[in-house]
């Protein structure tokens, strides 16, 4: 787990791993230069449970945090977990059992329940095993599609190392770059159950770095085609290394788009909650006419 300023939800995420049954584990958390209480919380938790290993570093981004954590992992398998998310009871033992029985699988994933900022159920991301393995095949003109969530994956450490691990050139999309290379070594198994919960915040849905994500997706395809042709990936990796976070104007509009998306997910199951997200979207972007229309619809549907 890599953490940057996740103090509010950090303890719950850590506890969901340390409370896992029927598996021998270590939890490696890399504090990526947090400026909130994350480091203090982690140190306090590690003092209570020796299975939690905390590493502190200057802020370098998620990719380098994951690289550092994976480099010291001693287990046969490496599982991912994101700060703010929760692994269901039995997740790790179930995934270990799958990998021990599926010698053809380099990794295993599961379905993911996405939750809103207040823990509201939004939707479940589900992929069949065939859909996932087809989606990870690099093809000209098509973007690779990965598992239900980065944090839902457990992989064989031997496969991670054979594929070359996370690559520092990919500040974003480091997971898809890795999965595409691992898929060339074997299959991804998919457990037909929800074993992971991921929390969505408006700012995580608003496309803050959407241009950069799209550019890296294209480079992942180019890198895969180069590997398939036996050519060097050096030029592609050089381009990827230039793509880094960009500060943009219009932050309020992008967060409004995130609130609008969450409201749309809730408008049938919980119109009362949807009203609040649509209201926030309108407050942040008064010209968001779809949010205004949905706000009115949700208010009429909500039980007051």
Give the integer Cα–Cα distance in Å for 45 and 258: 33
Give the integer Cα–Cα distance in Å for 61 and 172: 9
* pLDDT exceeds cutoff 90 at 196: yes
For residues 303 and 272, the answer to whether their CB atoms sit within 8 Å is: yes
Residue 152 DSSP symbol: G
For residues 171 and 243, the answer to whether their CB atoms sit within 8 Å is: yes
Residue 213 sits in the same domain as residue 281: no
What pLDDT, in 10s, does the model give residues 132-161? Answer: 999 999 999 889 999 999 999 999 999 999
Q: Is residue 135 part of a domain?
A: yes
Mean pLDDT estimate for the chain: 94
Chain-centre distance for alpha carbon 165: 16
Q: How far is CA 58 from CA 35, 48, 65, 82, 171, in A?
A: 10, 25, 10, 19, 15
Give the integer Cα–Cα distance in Å for 67 and 72: 9
Percentage of the chain lying above the pLDDT 90 cut: 88
Residue 188 sits in the same domain as residue 269: no
Answer with the one of 211, 239, 267 that is the final residue of a domain.
Answer: 239
Residue 294 sits in the same domain as residue 212: no
Mean pLDDT of 111-119: 96
* pLDDT exceeds cutoff 80 at 304: no
Residue 130 sits in the same domain as residue 274: no
Residue 189 sits in the same domain as residue 260: no
What pLDDT, in 10s, does the model give residues 270-289? Answer: 999 999 999 999 999 999 99
What pLDDT, in 10s, does the model give residues 50-93? Answer: 999 999 999 999 999 999 999 999 999 999 999 999 999 999 99
Answer with the one of 205, 239, 273 that is the final residue of a domain.
Answer: 239
Residue 201 sits in the same domain as residue 133: yes
Report the pLDDT value the prediction gives residue 88, as an integer from 0 to 100.
Answer: 98
Q: Is residue 97 part of a domain?
A: yes
* pLDDT exceeds cutoff 60 at 206: no
Residue 231 sits in the same domain as residue 258: no
CATH of the domain at 40: 3.90.550.10
* pLDDT exceeds cutoff 80 at 293: yes
Helix and strand counts by DSSP (H, E) for the chain: 12, 9
Q: Is residue 246 part of a domain?
A: no
Interstrand relation of 27-32 and 2-3 (parallel, antiparallel or unpaired): parallel
Residue 22 sits in the same domain as residue 59: yes
Q: Which two tokens stand for residue 101?
A: 């029985």
Closest CA to 127 of 174, 179, 194: 194
* Residue 225 dihedral angles phi and psi, to the nearest 5°: -65, -35
* Residue span of the structural domain in which 262 resides: 251-301
Residue 131 sits in the same domain as residue 264: no
* pLDDT exceeds cutoff 90 at 247: no
Tally of domains within the chain: 2
Q: Is residue 244 part of a domain?
A: no
Crossing angle for the helix pair 251-266 and 289-301, nearest 10 degrees?
30
């Amino acid at each position: 787990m890599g953490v940057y300023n996740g103090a509010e939800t950090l303890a719950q995420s850590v506890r969901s791993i340390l409370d896992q049954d029927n598996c021998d584990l270590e939890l490696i958390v890399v504090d990526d230069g947090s400026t909130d209480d994350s480091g203090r919380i982690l140190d306090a938790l590690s003092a209570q449970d020796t299975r939690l290993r905390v590493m502190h570093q200057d802020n370098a981004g998620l990719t380098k945090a994951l690289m550092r954590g994976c480099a010291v992992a001693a287990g046969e398998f490496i599982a991912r977990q994101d700060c703010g998310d929760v692994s269901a009871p039995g997740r790790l033992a179930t995934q270990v059992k799958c990998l021990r029985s599926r010698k053809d699988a380099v990794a295993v994933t599961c379905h993911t329940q996405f939750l809103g900022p207040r823990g509201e159920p939004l939707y479940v991301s589900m992929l069949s095993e065939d859909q996932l393995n087809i989606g990870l095949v690099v093809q000209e003109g098509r973007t690779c599609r990965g598992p239900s969530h980065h944090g839902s994956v457990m992989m064989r450490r031997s496969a991670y190392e054979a594929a070359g691990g996370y690559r520092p050139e990919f500040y974003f999309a480091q997971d898809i770059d890795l999965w595409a290379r691992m898929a060339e070594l074997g299959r991804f198994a998919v457990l037909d159950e929800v074993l992971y919960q991921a929390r969505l915040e408006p700012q995580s849905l608003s496309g803050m770095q959407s241009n950069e994500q799209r550019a890296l997706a294209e480079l992942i395809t180019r890198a895969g085609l180069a590997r398939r042709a036996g050519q060097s990936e050096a030029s592609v990796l050089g381009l990827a290394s230039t793509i880094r976070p960009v500060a943009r104007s219009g932050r309020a509009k992008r967060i409004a788009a995130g609130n609008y998306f969450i409201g749309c997910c809730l408008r049938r199951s919980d119109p009362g909650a949807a009203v609040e997200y649509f209201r926030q979207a309108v407050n942040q972007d008064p010209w968001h006419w779809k949010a205004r229309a949905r706000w009115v619809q949700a208010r009429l549907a909500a039980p007051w």
